[in-house]
Amino acid sequence: MPGPTPHLSVPDVARAAQFYTEVLGAELLERLVEPGGDRIIFCALRFDSGLLYLTESRRQGGISPAGLVLHLSVDDAEATYKRALGAGAEAVQEPTDAGWGERHGRFRDPVGILWAVSQPVDFSLNRKAPSASPSPA
C-alpha cells in the first residue's frame, strides 16, 4: 500500500501547477475544472515516484498550515533555486553546504508554499577529523 499523499490547499491551483511543472519538473497527471467554468480546482502531480495533490483553498477552508515544508531532492540545488526565483518564488535561504551532507536551500513559491531543495555533497569534506588523544604512558 502506498504511503500518504500530501494534499495542499492553495489559492490558485493553475498557478501552482504551472510553477511545479515548469520550474520543478513535476508531471501533470490529472486536473479538474470547476463545473461550468474554466478555473482549475484540483490537480494531481507526480514528482519522480511521489504524488502531490493541489486543491483550491477556498473549497478547503484555507491555505496549507504554517510549518509545512516540501523537500525536493534535485541534481543541482543552485540551478533549481535560481530557476524558482526567476519564476516568481521568494528567496528564503540561498543554497549552502550543510553539515549533514547536502547542499540545501529554501524558497517560497508563488502561492505561498515553502520548499526546500537539496543535492548530495561529499559529507566527508564537512566532517572534522577526530582529535588525537594522548597515548597512555
Q: Cα(7)–Cα(30) distance, rounded to whole angstroms?
A: 14
The C-alpha cell at 121 is 555533497
pLDDT at 54 over 70: yes
> Across the chain, where does the E strand assignment appear?
7-10, 27-33, 40-47, 50-56, 69-73, 90-98, 102-108, 114-120
Q: For residue 133, is it within any domain?
A: no
More confident residue, 118 or 128: 118
Q: How confident is the model at residue 134 (pLDDT cuts 50, 70, 90)?
A: low
Question: How far is C-alpha 82 from the geometric centre of its chain's CA atoms?
Answer: 14
Q: How confident is the model at residue 64 (pLDDT cuts 50, 70, 90)?
A: low
Q: For residue 53, is it within any domain?
A: yes
Q: For residue 90, is it within any domain?
A: yes
- Domain count of the fold of the chain: 1
pLDDT the model gives residue 24 = 96
User: In CATH, what number is assigned to the domain containing residue 25?
Assistant: 3.10.180.10
